[in-house]
Amino acid sequence: MKIAVIIGTRPEIIKMAPVIDEIDKRGIDYILIHTGQHYDYEMSHKFFIDLELKKPDFNIGVGSGSHGKQTAVMIKKIEDVLVAEKPDLVLVQGDTNAVLAGAVAASKLHIAVGHVEAGLRSYDKTMPEEINRQVADVASKLYFVPTEETALNLLFEGLSPHEIFITGNTIVDACIRNLKIAEKSSKALSDLDLDGDVLTLTMHRAENVDDPQRLRNITDALLEIGDELEDLKIIFPVHPRTVKNLKKYGIYDKLESAAHIQMTKPVGYLDFLLLLSNSKFIMTDSGGLQEEAITLNVPCMTLRYNTERPETVTAGGNILVGSSKQKIVDTLKQISGDEDLYKGMMEAQNPYGDGKTSQKILDVVLKAFDEGKLDIKS
């Protein structure tokens, strides 16, 4: 059996790494295709070092561009690789343009697609990720869903329960494995000024950082928080999309000169995990961080009005604060001023499994292969 694993951006490298490790462990033949959607050292190569991954067998080098152009180039080049390599299964992860391109290219060649983190839905079709998820799910054969709730999304869309496998999320595998390594090897904390209560912040979602009004509302809240909560220190590793827009709208220098905000380049996974696990709060619009927050028992505020990870909210570990300045400031004050609320958020139960997701995925893959279920023409 031969598997083609497709990755393209930071979160796909992180969340696919445990699956790749498991493929390696079982001695299965595989190729690794990197679409090159993320290409900066600190958005891509650094993760190959931290996660001890082999160099990709193919790097498509798509780079940045409009959705149409980026996706079209990826479909064409992934198709070329798949035609030449003839894998039995293509694995994609998540909801990026690489996932859309990989799932479309493979399914049109009648190669079975396994979608890791399938079934998530925000039902917000203004998000490019929602379109990517839905299209990838239409094109897939095996659905590795993180939770029962996610499985129901797919059942409601008419998919067969025989193709849906509740496996948890590989982010838990990644967190458990790499936090242990980080605790031994990372020097991240000594490089940062971590006096006081640390709030780790990330944001990169198009609807927040490409919209100057929303970006201003959020950054005004970050500045005001410094006056309201004296001991708070915000550590902000800034995504390249966000750097570009903060500079474009003249906000970057204001944030950089605020005494309570420390901006850095994006950091490697080991350093970042150690930072998260030593944080008192997480504020983010990232999908992965909502999951990592509840895995590491750190209360999370999500800078969005909806989430495709509602389990984190219903479990009590995550609050949606949107992009309203007042709501962001008030919620943070409330959480930090109410010990019971803070403790309740910390103790929210992780819905994403026990860290054995990649083993479960590979068990399903091998069984499906043995039973001839990857032959989608039969």
Which residue is listed with tokens 């000594």?
190
Residue closer to ligand UD1 (CB basis): 96 or 302:
96
22, 117, 173, 292: residue in contact with ligand UDP (rule CB under 6 A): 292
Backbone angles phi, psi at 283, to 5 degrees: -125, 130
* Residue 146 interacts with which of ligand UDP, ligand UD1, none, CB < 5 to 8 Å by class: none
Is residue 236 part of the contact set for ligand UDP (CB under 6 A)?
A: no
The number of residues in the chain equals: 378
* Tokens matching residue 159: 């998919």
Question: In a 3-state reduction of DSSP, which class is residue 108?
Answer: helix
Q: For residue 18, give every residue at least 6 positions away whose Cβ sits within 8 Å of its Cβ, in sequence order, or none.
A: 170, 173, 174, 177, 357, 358
* Residue 326 CB, nearest approach to ligand UD1 (Å): 26
The answer to the question of residue 128 lying near ligand UD1 (CB under 6 A) is: yes
User: From residue 291, how far is each of 191, 284, 285, 286 by CA, in Å?
Assistant: 26, 11, 11, 9
Q: What does the alpha-carbon distance between residue 121 and residue 298 come to, in Å, rounded to a whole number?
A: 24
Angle 249-64-44 (CA atoms, 0-180°, nearest 5)?
100
- Among ligand UD1, ligand UDP, none, residue 341 binds (CB under 5-8 Å by kind): none
Least distance CB 336 / ligand UD1 (angstroms): 28
Catalytically annotated residue among 115, 204, 239, 260: 204
Q: Among this protein's residues, is 204 annotated catalytic?
A: yes
Q: Which of residues 80-99 bind ligand UD1 (CB under 6 A)?
A: 95-97
Confirm or reject binding of residue 204 to ligand UD1 (CB under 6 A): yes
Measured distance between the N- and C-terminal CA atoms of the chain, rounded to whole angstroms? 17
- Binding residues for ligand UD1, rule: CB under 6 A, are 9-11, 37-40, 43, 64, 95-97, 128-129, 204, 239-241, 244
Active site members: 204
- Binding residues for ligand UDP, rule: CB under 6 A, are 10-11, 14, 202, 204, 237, 266-267, 269, 272, 286-289, 292
